[in-house]
Amino acid sequence: MKGQDWYQADAVAEEYDDVRFSGGGALIDRREKEAVLSALGPIDEGHRVLEVACGTGRFTTMLADQGADIVGLDISREMLEQGREKAADAGLADRVEFMRGDASRLPFPDDHFDSVVAMRFFHLMDDPIPFIEELQRVSKEQVFFDTFNRRSLRVLYTWLLPMGSRLYSEDQVVEMLRAADLTLVNEEHDFVLPYGFYRELPGAVAKPFRAVDELIGNTVPGDYVASVSYWNTAVSSSGSSSGSSAASE
């Protein structure tokens, strides 16, 4: 996985939310949360969710607050500690379980969760297909994830990032879904201006740019060059039990 040492550093975990989701970055945080909530829809009490690469628990805590029975899994102990503190501060510690684990070998049986969410995850993968197959294996209904796009402005600076960033074409995502026996339910594309642009701006300055970005993004050309895509997929009946149970190995 790209940038694994960087991602697990204490200083990175402690500053992660402040660096990425303050100022103009708050617009990114808001949009990502809207995408996750829209994909999962109204959450019934006890709906079982796994969040892979949960990081500091931004989505984990949000979904627990919506009523989900949720597990947040991440490779970084430091990120998980931030997540536990966030859940405790929100009074949700008893609704969330944080686990350290490897997304390539999830410690759960087949069809264990109703939904699996993986945000800010696939851009770190050298070979994403084994990972999406594993996400599909443990979900009986839904897998939701995002990708950064090869045809976007992000291609101009992704090589500068400390953890690197894999960019995807639509054909590559289709190949991933086919390999994992997932059916595309819907897709959304957003942010003509890449994340790095927004993070450099104060919130008040970023808002007008975001308004223009949304107007452009609602056009066919804007949709085509969007920097991020959200993919909502369903587990097929034939694929829901295709994997072997990692928990029994």
Secondary element (H or E) of residue 51: strand 48-52
pLDDT at 39: 97
pTM attached to this predicted model: 0.88
Any long-range contacts for 39-46 (C-beta under 8 Å, 24+ apart)?
39/117, 39/142, 39/144, 39/230, 39/232, 40/66, 40/68, 40/115, 40/117, 40/142, 40/144, 43/67, 43/68
pLDDT at 242: 46
Q: What is the pLDDT along the chain (249 residues), one digit of tens a residue?
A: 544 554 455 555 666 667 778 999 999 999 999 999 999 999 988 899 999 999 999 999 999 999 999 999 999 999 999 999 999 999 999 999 999 999 999 999 999 999 999 999 999 888 999 999 999 999 999 999 999 999 888 776 666 665 568 899 999 999 999 999 999 999 999 999 999 899 999 999 999 999 999 999 999 999 999 999 999 999 987 655 444 433 333
Residue labelled with tokens 């944080």? 98
> Which residue ranges form the domains of the chain, and what is each CATH number?
4-235 (3.40.50.150)
pLDDT at 6: 46
pLDDT at 202: 96
**Residues 6+ positions from 30 with CB-CB distance below 8 Å:** none
- What 3-state DSSP class applies to 7? helix
120 near 129, Cβ under 8 Å? no
Amino acid identity, residue 5? D
Q: How far apart are CA 224 and CA 220, in angstroms?
A: 6
pLDDT at 239: 52
Strands of the 113-118 sheet, one edge to the other: 96-100, 69-74, 48-52, 113-118, 139-148, 228-235, 182-190
**Residues 6+ positions from 88 with CB-CB distance below 8 Å:** none
Residue labelled with tokens 């008040």? 204
Let me know the angle formed at the C-alpha of 6 by 171 and 77, rounded to the nearest 5 degrees.
100
Residue ranges of the alpha helices (H) in the chain? 4-7, 10-21, 25-40, 58-65, 77-89, 129-138, 170-179, 195-199, 203-217, 220-224
Let me know the angle formed at the C-alpha of 98 by 122 and 48, rounded to the nearest 5 degrees.
80
**Residues 6+ positions from 154 with CB-CB distance below 8 Å:** 148, 165, 167, 194, 195, 196, 227
Burial 12-36 (b: 16+ CB within 10 A, else e): bbeebbeebbebbbbbbeebbeebb
First CA to last CA distance, the chain: 23
Q: How far apart are CA 45 and CA 65, in angstroms?
A: 10
- Length reported for the chain: 249
